[in-house]
Chains A and B, each alone.
Chain A
């Protein structure tokens, strides 16, 4: 952590009790300061890694002996699916942070993560569908993995719809957090759907106890893309959180202005 409490200009002279980094980040100003220099770094890294991953995808990774070039859909499909699930995990952790610890940035984080996670989930569904046509002969099958990911997408839609339908922001935050925590049961269902049911979708082949079941010529581009997509996710998430914080500040300033204006009018009418 770059910022220690005593370098702040307004640091009190009395010794400040040691803060954990989550507590320090709970101050939106500190978060804005940190993200101000972290965000450009993340963005450049994301662009570079995804660029390298794209190069590996098209020029280095060999076509599969059965699937041909279509195997390369995997380099988008698998990272998107991982991030779709991770996004929901992030929402669940943020919801927990809001409901239990009242962490002031938790709701900002949950709100920013929802559209990004939904986009990655949709991307996983669409690329999976495009991959399914040449491989399985159909764009869609009602298989356990596909169905559970579709439900994940619906949960994202429900979260966003619930938030937008409640006017009071503090209440919307809490209600959305309750739903976010309830919906977290979908994550283990997605993860284990391929083991519990006999499905068309192949079981886990990268994250396994006895090592990945994929040849390294395919695995390396996949992991590079996964890292690149994750960096993109975090960059977008951080940008979304910054926007949300700024939006709230603008709203608070506007409210203050309206209040001042109405006081001014009251004073004027009282004087006149």
Chain B
């Protein structure tokens, strides 16, 4: 567990000190959300109705943009090979790096959503729902994304391919995130069912995705 924490701290420190990476994701999130009213017209009622969906879809895209960072730099400079040779199982290393991605990108994106909600005239009682579903759903985004990031390490045109591989896997997260918000808006006790499934998706991803990501990483090293 010691190695796990060390790797996690190292990745978090890198994410903070490298700079740029998080800012790019947040900036991308802002610009995508800001484009929507321009494309749809400034009808506030319409925007209020679709605001949670826009926030969620833009969050997926912004997270997608930052996924290659999980393994790319370590793959390029050879640290990944050192990690594979070290005492820490590659599965745990993949989990630590995915967790670092969630903390350094997933959480900031989720916390940024209410600010962007203002642009979309989000209803006041939807703010906590949006943040809660995003905090519960972003672990799935980081961990499932780590599979795609590991698979496309050696691929040509990896970025486009990553979107094609990972976005279908994100569909259940998106569906249950949105359905938790919309059912809670209809009745206060409608929230639990979808939210629990959303959390279950996240937990299953956290438990299983590192194995798939590690299998993909191992195949690169042979």
Contacts and interface: CB of A to CB of B under 8 A. Distances in A.
Contact of A181 (B152, B154, B168, B212): B212
A230 interface: no
Contacts of A155: 168
Contacts of B190: none
A147 B147 contact: no
Contact of A179 (B151, B167, B172): B151
12 contacts: A147-B171, A157-B164, A161-B161, A162-B155, A165-B155, A165-B161, A174-B216, A174-B219, A174-B222, A175-B216, A181-B212, A183-B169
B156 interface: yes
Contacts of B168: 151, 154-155, 158, 183, 186
A189 interface: yes
A171 to B, nearest CB: 6
Given A165-B155, A166-B154, A171 B222 contact: yes
A162 B216 CA distance: 12
Contact of B161 (A162, A170, A171): A162
Contact of B151 (A167, A168, A178, A186): A178
B220 interface: yes
Interface of A: 99, 147, 151, 154-155, 157-158, 161-162, 165-168, 170-171, 174-175, 178-179, 181-183, 186, 189
Interface in B76-115: none
A162 B215 CA distance: 15
Contacts, number: 63
A157 B154 CA distance: 18
B125 interface: no
A189 B172 contact: yes
Interface in B142-161: 147, 151-152, 154-158, 161
A182 B205 CA distance: 10
Contacts of A151: 168, 171
Interface string B166-205: 0111011001000000000000000000000000000000
Nearest to A148: B171
A99 B218 CA distance: 11
Contacts of B158: 165
A212 to B, nearest CB: 30
Given A157-B164, A178-B219, 11 more contacts: A158-B164, A158-B165, A161-B165, A165-B161, A166-B154, A170-B222, A174-B219, A175-B216, A178-B151, A178-B215, A178-B216
Contacts of B155: 162, 165-166
Contact of B157 (A157, A165, A170, A174): A165
SS class, residues of chain B in contact with chain A: helix
SS class, residues of chain A in contact with chain B: helix
A12 to B, nearest CB: 32
A62 to B, nearest CB: 39
Nearest to A163: B155
Contacts of B219: 171, 174-175, 178
Contacts of A178: 147, 151, 212, 215-216, 219
* A-B CB proximity, top 5 nearest: A174-B219, A165-B155, A154-B168, A158-B165, A178-B216
A99 B222 CA distance: 13
Nearest to B171: A151
A182 B169 contact: yes
A166 B175 CA distance: 31
Nearest to B156: A165
B154 A168 contact: yes
B46 to A, nearest CB: 18
A88 to B, nearest CB: 12
Contacts of B216: 174-175, 178
Contacts of B147: 178-179, 182
A147 B171 CA distance: 9
Contacts of B167: 154
B157 A182 contact: no
B137 to A, nearest CB: 16
Nearest to B220: A171
Contacts of B212: 178, 181-182
